[in-house]
Structure 1
Amino acid sequence: MTIALLIVAVYAIVCWVVFYKYKLLKFNIVWGVVTFWVGFHVLFLLVVFLRFFAPYTIDGHVIRQTVQIAPRLPHPTMLQEVYVAQNQAVKKGDKLYQFETTLYAAQLAEAEANLVGAQQNAQILQEDIAQAQDAQAEAEANESYAAEQVARYTNLVPRGGAKQETLDKWTAQLAAAKAQVAEAAANVTKAQLAADAQVDGVNAQVAAAQAQVDQAQYYLDQTTIYAPEDGKIISQQARPGLVVGGFRIGSIAAFVADADPYFLATFYQEHLKFVEPDQPVEVALDIYPGQVFTGKVKAIWEGTGQGQIKPSGNVPNFLFMSPQGRFAVEIVLDEDPALKRFPGGAHGAAAIYTGGGGEWVSVLRRVNMRLYAWVNFIIPFDV
């Protein structure tokens, strides 16, 4: 709009000079129609060339990565200490919040006690195997002795050297001894199966108890929240006495990271016809009136929310003549690629120079960008 008004103003001055200042031509109805017709086409062509060969937008923003600080505690827990002030810069690993540890320390102690008990039970299982094997050996010895006695009395009874009752007694004892051997063998198998119940070579009960210890230690560690990386918390609203955990699913603070910011500018889709990566760019940020920063196109984000249909039970509702979504263009600034001096949310205008249409197109757009930058000294007009 600014450059269009500028073109109209220049054309009006030229007409004034020709028809009124130096009276090179006499103004009449015919020249009025011709002047309007020529001016309209000049303005139309200039606007078209500018839009496609030097696309421009006033919807550019510095985007900074944020991390939602959310306590991961399963029980209602009270906040005890806050170590960070509002807008205070912190380094990765610095303490941010400390929650009450009593319940989680007790759960860890209980889990560690259960682990010791499970380890002792694992050792007992090995002793059970040895005991069952001894019982099996004893039963097998009794079976062998009873078999010998049955064989001896089987030979003596027909000769009258022993009574039939004695043979019957040893026959019964042999049957009992065989049953004892079978029972002892089953006990050995049971003891061996119990000892062989392992996860990655560790007794199953010990592994389960160790998992409970790890879980208890995890939640105890979560009672202290540390900075995930270098950055700052813009708005510090959490205060000691705040209770989190249980059913709370929201964050208590937004952590703004220092690393990996980027500048995005949105353009109408048709204006990106000739835009490609590495083309030169100029950016004028409202926070720095009068300054124009140079850069280049990094990438075009060729997608908007209008290109997504979320799974649901509803039939898609396509609104006729719905406004088109703009595409975002990621821009890298030459002066400060890491955007260290630019706060998140900084707004500004951006122009991309595709090189098409002739040098005059770029010149007009550069004038447009500098007008925007210098007008920022006045707008917004709030005295």
Structure 2
Amino acid sequence: MTSAEANVAHQESFLEQTSVEVELSEAAVLVAQARAKYDVDDAARQTILAEEGAARKGQAELARQPAAVSTELIARDSSELDVAKAAYEEAKLSLDAMIDGKHASVRLAEAALAHSTAVLKDRTVYAPSDGKVLNLQLQPSNVVRLKTPVLTFVNEADPWILMKIRQKDAQHITVAFWG
């Protein structure tokens, strides 16, 4: 599995996860709304009972406090629901991003590979024929200027060595081939 395919699989699992989070957030909002409705109704009942003299006025005040807390819970759960929905939409858009029938991350990986191949081709040094390199001055990451020698190359088919020697020392020269 390529890294692009792994990325697509990861995005699919993330989409499933965010879908579950959206459902959980929606359920939390529904629970908070039901709790708030109960608290508001309970506060109203306690107020009516207090006005009729069937309950103490302090009890009506206590019943109003959970209603305020429930309102805060609804606001918090609603904002969490909005965040979960946004994450779900982002994951869905990322997963649905297709170019010519292929996922966008696969296309991005293919483009990066093509670029790297082209750069490698431009930066590869080829020998003009079969032979040996005698003096290599080219190293990875070196910058080469135009017409700057970077190696000494000897053609194996037709080797020539030019040198200046004193005539007196010429008697000690023998021809030998390496291979």
Q: TM range, normalised to the smaller chain?
A: 0.5 to 0.7
Q: What residue is the counterpart of 2:25 in the other structure?
A: 132
Which whole-Å CA distance do the structure 1 matches of 2:110 and 2:81 have between them? Answer: 38
Which whole-Å CA distance do the structure 2 matches of 1:220 and 1:138 have between them? Answer: 51
Describe the shift of the 1:190–1:160 C-alpha distance in structure 2 as closer, same or farther (beyond 3 A): same
More strand by share: 1
Q: Is the 8 A contact 1:118 1:206 kept in 2?
A: no
Q: What residue is the counterpart of 2:45 in the other structure?
A: 152
Bigger Rg over Cα: 1
Q: What residue is the counterpart of 1:189 in the other structure?
A: 82
- Please point out which of 115, 122, 136 is paired with 1:249: 122
- Please point out which of 146, 159, 171 is paired with 2:64: 171
Q: Is the 8 A contact 2:21 2:84 kept in 1?
A: yes
Residue 203 of structure 1: SS of its match in structure 2? helix
Query: Structure 1 residue 157: deviation in Å?
Result: 1.3
- Percent identity between the two aligned chains: 20
Which whole-Å CA distance do the structure 1 matches of 2:23 and 2:48 have between them? Answer: 38
Q: What residue is the counterpart of 1:215 in the other structure?
A: 108
Query: 1:342-381 deviations in whole A, cap 9, x for unaligned?
Result: xxxxxxxxxxxxxxxxxxxxxxxxxxxxxxxxxxxxxxxx
Residue 161 of structure 1: SS of its match in structure 2? coil
Consecutive unaligned residues of structure 2, counting only runs of 5 or more, are 127-179
Describe the shift of the 1:163–1:122 C-alpha distance in structure 2 as closer, same or farther (beyond 3 A): same
Residue 131 of structure 1: SS of its match in structure 2? helix
Q: What residue is the counterpart of 1:241 in the other structure?
A: none
Q: Is the 8 A contact 1:119 1:206 kept in 2?
A: no
Residue 20 of structure 2: SS of its match in structure 1? helix
Task: With the length of structure 1 as denominator, give the TM-score of the two structures.
Answer: 0.28
Q: What residue is the counterpart of 1:117 in the other structure?
A: 10
Query: Structure 1 residue 109: deviation in Å?
Result: 2.4
Task: With the length of structure 2 as denominator, give the TM-score of the two structures.
Answer: 0.55
Describe the shift of the 1:176–1:224 C-alpha distance in structure 2 as closer, same or farther (beyond 3 A): closer
Which whole-Å CA distance do the structure 1 matches of 2:124 and 2:35 have between them? Answer: 73
Q: Give, as a single letter, the amino acid of the residue that structure 2 aligns with 1:203.
A: L
Alignment length (residue pairs):
122
Residue 112 of structure 1: SS of its match in structure 2? helix
Which whole-Å CA distance do the structure 2 matches of 1:157 and 1:171 have between them? Answer: 13
Consecutive unaligned residues of structure 1, counting only runs of 5 or more, are 1-107, 226-243, 254-383
Q: Is the 8 A contact 2:11 2:94 kept in 1?
A: no
Which whole-Å CA distance do the structure 1 matches of 2:116 and 2:35 have between them? Answer: 63
